[in-house]
Amino acid sequence: MVANIVFGVFSLFMSLVLFLLGLLPVVDFGAFGVIVPPQVSAALSALNWFVPMGTLSLILTVWIGLLLALNAFMYVASFALHFSSRA
């Protein structure tokens, strides 16, 4: 019973945190101005003929974000299960 209460409170807390994170603005990483060497720029422009770099960077960004979110969720869930088993 205590574990169900702890899990319910934890789920409510996580929902609130995720809602608040959804309200934050999106960061434009293109504004950082990363300097790319000319050789890399030439290789990327040649690769752009076969794979659109905008699409590739979007897919890679979403994939990395989902992996980080999944790892964070699994860490928090394992912590919650460990904490609820001790109660």
pLDDT values of the chain reduced to their tens digit, one per residue, 87 residues: 777 887 888 888 888 877 777 776 665 555 656 676 778 777 767 766 776 777 778 888 888 999 999 999 988 888 888 877 776
Whether the CB-CB separation of 87 and 2 falls below 8 Å is answered with yes
Q: What stretch of H or E contains 56?
A: helix 53-86
- Angle between helices 53-86 and 2-22 in degrees, nearest 10: 160
What is the token pair recorded at 28?
Answer: 């434009």
Other CB atoms within a 10 A radius of the CB of residue 80 amount to 18
Q: Is the dihedral of CA 43, 62, 22, 8 positive or negative?
A: negative
